[in-house]
Structure 1
Amino acid sequence: MKGREKLRQAIDSLYAGGQAAAEAYTPLVVECLRVNDVGQAKRLQSHMDRHYFTPSDSFLHNRLLHLYARFGKISDARNLFDKMPRRDIISWNTMLSVYAKSGSVENLRALFDQMPSRDSVSYNTVIAGLAGRGFSSQALEVFLRMNIDGFEQTEYTHVSALNACSRLSDLRKGKQIHGRIYVGRLGRNVFVSNALTDMYAKCGEIDRARWLFDRTDNKNVVSWNSLIAGYLKNGQPKKCIDLFQEMQVAGFKPDDVTVSNVLGGYFQSGMVEEASKVFSMIKKKDKVSWTTMIVSYVQNGKEEDALTLFSKMLAEGVKPDGFTFSSVISSCARLAYLCNGQVVHGKAILLGVDNDLLVSSALVDMYCKCGITKDASVVFDTMPTRNVVSWNAMIRGYAQNGQDLEALALYENLLQEKLKPDNITFVAVLSACNHAGLIEEGRRYFDSISKRHALVPTLDHYACMINLLGRSGCMREAMDLTKNMPHEPNSLIWSTLLSVCAMKGDMEYAEMAAKRLFELEPRNAGPYIMLSNMYATRGRWEDVAAVRSLMKSKNVKKFAAYSWIEIDNEVHKFVAEDATHPQTEIIYEGLSRLIKKLQEAGFMPDTKLVLHDVVEEEKFASICYHSEKLALAFGLIKKPHGTTPIRIMKNIRVCGDCHQFMKLVSRIIGRSIILRDSNRFHHFVDGSCSCKDYW
């Protein structure tokens, strides 16, 4: 501050004395540069202009231009440049650097073309300015022109040109530049070798990049980062991680760029815990690193961790973008955490990203997956722009929530908007036909996939049609469709067929489908359980034992069925006959009272659905204390009054007895219940369900 104060006093004295000689300005301009005081420099220029002072040489003006360039003062620099009575090559080059640093590419090229003469600095400034701002093709044009004009190209020149090739993934030009570097013996320069490694890595020749890296004598962190990023870009996350470990063994300290790239490597490898450790190493976490870690959690089934990390991101003052928000909202959708989703929606509105296409589409999906299609529809209707993803989310949401006719009507609106449906659209449309039992409409929409919209029906489409035909009693047609598909039936097709057979009691086709599934997915417990249950309903206990023995011999583990309910922003999870909840005793008492009330109304638990060879009392206890019934009892205890629906989620398909139970409860207590199982939503209102008992 002392230097600046002395400078200000000296310039004040200059102002007080009126016009001064050129020698008086020179030390003051130099001092402005030394202390980086652009304000006092502008005062000096003003004093010079007022007294019509025009030095015979350009020294003072060049020093002022240099200072303006340093601070990116484009208008001040251009104003001074235009007034200069005499411009030398330094003046022109300094003005070029002003435009290059500020990213004013159009002015940069125009000034370069106006120059009466150029030198290597002129060319290097323009090439670096263009390459650094993403105008890679123009940078390479100037690089070629520099060579034609006969100017010497230095390490600095080649690094900028290689960076342009990297951005364009132009391997051919990159190799040509490498040849020039080799001839000029510039390859041992660490910046050049880094740029070469980066170019080959980004152009897909990762092995060549590694070869160059191994022959670099004076490796630095940038060299390691180039190759680590190259492995990541070329889909080799394991080598990216291995190189990171090799880097540490070699004694190099990773920087935030290193860690961010390695985080992506762990992300691609699905190594979430390791990614979390690497994430904690980043000192200055930017939006990209936070978002990468959040997405890593979301895509690896750790949605609750994603929500926790999002809260920390906000607490750290890092502003999320649309991609971050869409990922977090997707977590809320998967967990059906409506309260969390509404809070995130509010944050998006506050930060002004709620109208972002990714965010609004995710919000539509989230509200639908929480069973609130009304709110989803409001978001959908107010979107400033919509793409097929947005339409798909709303159509699928209607179908999942039993509003099948609304789903089909919205699809027709999509066609009226002249939008082209995609494969996901038709999965949603066929699902709506399936749930509503609209067999003729389903056939028509299925045929239109190829005939009207020139798409190739996928296995998902065939699975929808097989399900629709089988459930509608057209089992022979469903089997014919399976046999005549252009695709080899996969596990989805056979699982669909097995599910239909289980519903229709078709043992012959069920055994055939189960056998195929045992071959395709020998460790998947689902087909074994489904076939075993079919045997159990027929009292074929020896066959049940045989299936269970087969499961044991193949070490197949049965997955646990559970339900969860969100009460006051806290999630409570239950399994069948659960005794782990802190309020277990109160929950069972409440459920017993509810069962008694239903029995008085004529309800009796369907013990035939208990697929174990046990006595009737045990069957009764087993069927009465399924996880969704425990969740319902808890919800009614915590929220005994009001009109808000009780909302329950289950990870597998709801059983027939629980479905009937929920219907009767909704009628007797006059309260709606929303249950989301693995198949669809069930909205129980006044004794009926939105699925129309078809799920």
Structure 2
Amino acid sequence: MKASQKLREAIDAFLVRGCTATEPYTRLLLECIRANDVNQAKRLQSHIQIQSVEPNSTYLQNCLLHLYVKSGKTNDAVELFDKMPTKDVFSWNVMLSAYSKLGETGNLRATFDKMPARDSISYNTTIAGLAGSGCSVDGLGLFIRMQRDGFEPREYTYVSALNACSKLLDLRRGKQIHGRIVTGNCRGNVFVSSALMDMYAKCGQVEQAGWLFDRINDKNVVLWNSMISGYLKNGRPEKCLDLFLEMKVAGVKPDLVTVSSVLGANFQSGFIDEATRIFKEIKEKDGVCWTTMIVGYAQNNREEDAWMLFSEMLSENVKPDKYTISSVVRVCARLASLVHGKVIHSKAIRNGIESDLLVSSALIDMYSKCGETLDARKVFQAMAVRNVVSWNAMIMGYAQNGQDQEALELYQNMLQEKLKPDNITLVGVLSACSRSGSVELGKKYFSSISELHGMKPTLDHYSCMINLLGRPGRMDEAVDLINSLPEEPNYLIWSTLLSVARVNGDIERAEMAAKHLSELDPLETGPYIILSNMYASAGRWEKVALVRSLMKDKKIRKAPAYSWIQIDYKVHKFVSDDRTHSQNEKIYRKLDSLMKEIQKAGYVPDTHLALHDVGEDEKVESISYHSEKLALAYGLISKPQDRMPIRILKNLRVCKDCHMFMKFVSKLLEQRIILRDTNLFHHFVDGECSCKDYW
């Protein structure tokens, strides 16, 4: 016979007999608590009221109160508590425990303040509840008051107070608590020591955390984890790995928390293969381990590995959480993989986390980076709650895809919602002004950064303004702005000036910008290439030869250009004049055919940047098989005739000839093409590009 059935039969027999004595009720209520049987307890409660059992009724009601809270029946507990004619400290503490477990900090603090008398448990429970629910300031304040009132904190109270110091980065208060621990009765407690180490590490005092760690005997896995995590959070991955080896030598078995930190450390140190080896050795992996590996692969430009690992995670029936989903969505964004992105979107919907702020913002970013701003806006519109990150993702999405007016209109909507923009918001807004040529409006928004929003303009904002002024040829104003900067111009500022100088053919300003860039990063190829191309366009071949000679002397090599396209879940990568693809012959036949057709329509190959000391045919051939052209040809022979756009990514800026080529193909074949280079998104539709021929 089951215990619950025995209890029910015992209560049935007892209620038939009837009784006004306290002891039998007490004994049966304690049995209900042990069995966690609320229904039987309620039967006893009703009978207590009918029989008018007065002696020790507060104790009996406290038993019921405890059972309701233990069983998660908070509403029943509140109802009983309000009706209790007499309450003692235990009654109040039970309610504090209930609100603490539910994270209801308002009710928790209100109940504490109403208490006619408090004991150590009252303080301990309330402090832990406040600190654990994010009310760190209130929890810490109550911890100070507790000591002033003469109550001794317990181990978990010290842990809660130290965690509050960690969240607030309050090193001064943390040190004071450390002093109290040394003189108190919690010295040497593993959990208190772990919280102390964590507090010092999060406050940037990782050496002090290490000092504490070295002086603890009998170190368990919790302490090792705190120290390893501390080094990782302070940007010391090499110390994290050293400590992991020491842990193994000490014979302490790592757990999943240890492994997650070590995996992260390996990725920060660039030991990707080592991280992979450790991950494969783990027999039972939790979601944190899977997510750490996925993020690590993505951060180290191994997006395909990240996607494959996510697929393996699903096959192992490990349920992804919002962090996993958002990480994989960002992988899809970097690959511009709309197919994979939609699969993850569906997975998020099935898991009920599509409305999570982290996931929704990642989805908006993914759709935008796949050129599908309409889908991004649908996600944005469906969000019940939006924060500044959500608005930024949508505004930046519009700006990057050449939909400048949509970006600016959305910004106005954001202001109407009384949401304060941040630095990223204004970068998107200024970028949209630059793309649309709205110089005066851009100036107005730039002024509003300090005058309206009380922020200090960053170099990112100044870069947008240099672009805004330089694009229409107002180069003098752009240079004046650089000279007025409140701090030293960085690489971004000079590269922006170089970019607008290239657009305007301003060799003098380009040389100035390139000089500063080479001083900041002598081995960066970009400035040399842009300057060389400008010289070539101007026919100054002696300068081209000088730049190339300089690059050779400094052993600076141009980064190889490549493009990639995804067909049927597989990524295909091409370099210029690539002959390695399995469908090589079909690709070149298609490309040669396209060349002939668009030349009939008026396309003239732009050979200005080709070598000047070769014949015209050789010049044309040298630009005819650039990587993005090969990717487009493969896309055309591979995709079904469903009028869906072809998406191509390139690791460098698209050249003028390829840009013109894409425009002609989009018109001739009525084919929408989306090309994402390092600068922005190009939407080719009916012979026009969303960048308006400025990139």
For the aligned pair, the TM-score class normalised by the smaller chain equals 0.7 to 0.9
CA distance in 2, matches of 1:449, 1:163: 36
The DSSP-based 3-state class of the residue aligned with 2:649 is: strand
**What's the counterpart of residue 334 of structure 2?**
334
Letter in 2 for 1:582: S
- Partners of 1:534 and 1:224 lie apart in 2 by 58
Letter of the 2:401 partner, please give it.
N
In the TM superposition, 1:248-397 aligns within 5 A as 248-263=248-263, 265=265, 291-312=291-312, 324-380=324-380, 384=384, 389-397=389-397
Q: Which residue of 1 aligns with 2:559?
A: 559
Cα distance, 1:521 vs. partner?
1.4
Which residue matches 2:662?
Answer: 662
Q: Once the 2 structures are TM-superposed, how far is the Cα of residue 647 of structure 1 from its aligned partner?
A: 2.9
Structure 2 CA distance for partners of 1:329 and 1:78, relative to 1, 3 Å: closer
Q: Does 1:585 align with 2:585?
A: yes
2:336–2:647 contact (8 Å) kept in structure 1: no
Q: Percent identity?
A: 64
Deviation at 1:574, TM superposition (A): 1.5
Give runs of aligned pairs for residues 113-512 of structure 1, distance below 5 A: 124=124, 128=128, 131-133=131-133, 147=147, 158=158, 162=162, 165-166=165-166, 169-184=169-184, 186-263=186-263, 265=265, 291-312=291-312, 324-380=324-380, 384=384, 389-408=389-408, 422-437=422-437, 456-467=456-467, 469-512=469-512
3-state SS in 1 of match to 2:518: helix
Which letter maps to 1:490? Answer: N
CA contact (8 A) 2:22 2:56 kept: no
The Cα of 1:586 is off from its aligned counterpart by: 1.3
* Counterpart contact for 1:532–1:543, Cα < 8 Å: yes
Q: 1:37 to 1:301 in 2, by over 3 A?
A: same
Counterpart residue identity of residue 638, structure 1: S
Q: Max radius of gyration: which structure?
A: 1
Moved more, 57-66 or 348-357: 57-66
Q: Secondary structure of the equivalent of 2:582?
A: coil
Contact 2:645/2:673 (8 A) holds in 1 = yes
Q: For residues 539-567 of structure 1, give each alpha carbon's deviation from its aligned partner in whole angstroms, at most 9, with x where no partner exists.
A: 66665454344334433232121222233
Counterparts in 2 of 1:648 and 1:51: CA distance versus 1, 3 Å: same
Name 1:574's counterpart in structure 2: 574
- Please list, as runs of the form range in 1=range in 2, the aligned pairs for 1:648-687 lying within 5 A after superposition: 648-687=648-687
Distance 2:460 2:109 in 1: 54
What residue in structure 2 maps to residue 524 of structure 1? 524
Q: Could you tell me which amino acid in structure 1 is paired with residue 565 of structure 2?
A: I
| TM-superposed deviation, 1:203 | 4.6
2:536/2:608 contact within 8 Å kept: no
Q: How many residues align?
A: 695
What SS does the aligned partner of 1:674 have?
strand
TM-score of the two chains, using structure 2 as the length reference? 0.82
Q: Which residue of 2 aligns with 1:632?
A: 632
Residue 679 of structure 1 aligns to a residue whose secondary structure is coil
Aligned partners of 2:221 and 2:254 also within 8 Å: yes
Deviations 1:209-258, CA, capped at 9 Å, x for gaps: 33222222232222223333444455544444433333222221222333
Name the stretch that deviates more: 14-23 or 497-506. Answer: 14-23
1:347–1:618 distance in 2 versus 1, CA, 3 Å: same
Is the contact made by 2:402 and 2:691 (CA closer than 8 Å) also made in structure 1? yes
Q: Quick one: structure 1 residues 611 and 381, their matched pair in 2 at CA, closer, same or farther if it must change by over 3 Å?
A: farther
More moved, 107-116 vs 677-686: 107-116
**What amino acid sits opposite 1:213 in the alignment?**
F
Q: Does 496-505 or 618-627 show the bigger shift?
A: 496-505
Shift of 1:583: 1.0
| Equivalent AA in structure 1 for residue 558 of structure 2 | K
Q: What is the CA distance between 1:584 and its match in structure 2?
A: 0.9
CA distance in 2, matches of 1:162, 1:22: 44
SS in 2 for 1:558: coil
Q: Does structure 2 retain, via aligned residues, the 8 Å contact 1:256–1:283?
A: no
| Corresponding position of 2:547 | 547
Which string of whole-angstrom CA distances, capped at 9 and with x for unpartnered residues, describes residues 58-111 of structure 1?
A: 887776666556545556667777899998877776676566556666776677
Amino acid at match of 1:645: P
TM-aligned CA distance change 1:444 to 1:611, over 3 Å: farther
Equivalent AA in structure 1 for residue 333 of structure 2: A
* Partner Cα distance (1:685, 1:494) in 2: 33
1:652 CA displacement: 1.9
Matches within 5 A, 1:60-99: 70-74=70-74
Per-residue deviation, residues 249-281 of structure 1 (Å, max 9, x unmatched): 222122233334445555666665555556667
In 2, the alpha carbon distance for the partners of 1:439 and 1:64 equals: 72
Q: Tell me, yes or no, if the aligned pair for 2:256 and 2:289 is still in contact at 8 Å.
A: no
Structure 1 pair 304/27, CA: closer, same or farther in 2 (3 Å)?
Answer: same
**Contact kept in structure 2, 1:303 and 1:335, CA below 8 Å:** yes
Which piece of structure 1 moves more, 436-445 or 293-302? 436-445
Paired letter, 1:657: D
Alpha-carbon distance in 2 for matches of 1:139, 1:207: 27
| Residues in 2 aligned to 1:618 and 1:17: alpha-carbon distance in whole angstroms | 109
Asked if the contact 1:54/1:85 (under 8 Å) is kept, the reply is no
CA drift of 1:606 comes to: 3.6
Residues 288-314 of structure 1 deviation map (CA, whole Å, 9 limit, x = unaligned): 555555444444444444444444555
Flag the 1:383–1:222 CA change in 2: closer, same or farther, 3 A. Answer: closer
Deviation by residue 1:316-356 (Cα, 9 ceiling, x = unmatched): 66665655544443333332222223333344444454444
Q: Using a 3 Å threshold, how does the CA distance of structure 1 residues 152 and 417 change in structure 2: closer, same or farther?
A: closer
Q: Which SS does the other structure have where 1:609 is aligned?
A: coil
Moved more, 228-237 or 625-634: 228-237
Deviations 1:561-587 (A, max 9, x none): 122223333332221111121111111
- Looking at structure 1, the residues matched to 613 and 21 of structure 2 have their Cα atoms a distance apart, in angstroms, of 111
CA distance in 2, matches of 1:420, 1:105: 27
1:104 to 1:549, Cα distance in 2 relative to 1, 3 A: closer
What pairs with 1:20-59 in structure 2 (closer than 5 Å)?
Answer: none
Q: Is the 8 A contact 1:365 1:376 kept in 2?
A: yes
Tell me, yes or no, if the aligned pair for 1:259 and 1:281 is still in contact at 8 Å: no
Change (3 A) 1:241 1:60: same
1:447 Cα offset (Å): 6.1
Pair 49,277 (structure 1): closer, same or farther in 2 beyond 3 Å:
farther
Deviation, 1:126, is 5.3
Change (3 A) 1:433 1:69: closer
Distance 1:281 1:133, change over 3 A: farther
CA distance in 2, matches of 1:581, 1:617: 25
Indicate if the aligned counterparts of 2:186 and 2:192 stay in contact, CA closer than 8 A: yes
- Of the structure 1 ranges 649-658 and 311-320, higher mean CA displacement relative to structure 2 is found in 311-320
Question: For 1:3 and 1:165, how far apart are their aligned partners in 2?
Answer: 46
The answer (yes or no) to whether the contact 1:68–1:98 under 8 Å persists in 2 is no
Residue 183 of structure 1 deviates from its aligned partner by 3.5
Change (3 A) 1:524 1:72: same
Q: Secondary structure at the match of 1:531?
A: helix
SS of the equivalent of 1:694 reads coil
Q: Residues 584-606 of structure 1, C-alpha deviation per residue, up to 9 Å, x if partnerless?
A: 11111222222232344454434
Q: Distance in 2 between matches of 1:409 and 1:145?
A: 51
CA deviation after TM superposition for structure 1 residue 43, in Å: 5.3
Q: Per-residue deviation at 1:370?
A: 2.3
Q: Verify the 8 A CA contact 2:20 2:52 in the aligned structure 1.
A: no
Residues 13 and 236 of structure 1: CA distance in aligned 2, closer, same or farther (over 3 Å):
same
Q: C-alpha distance in 1, partners of 2:286/2:537?
A: 58
Deviation at 1:282, TM superposition (A): 6.8
The separation in 2 between residues aligned to 1:388 and 1:66, in whole angstroms, is 43
Instruction: Find the aligned partners of 1:470 and 1:153 in 2 and give their Cα distance.
Output: 64
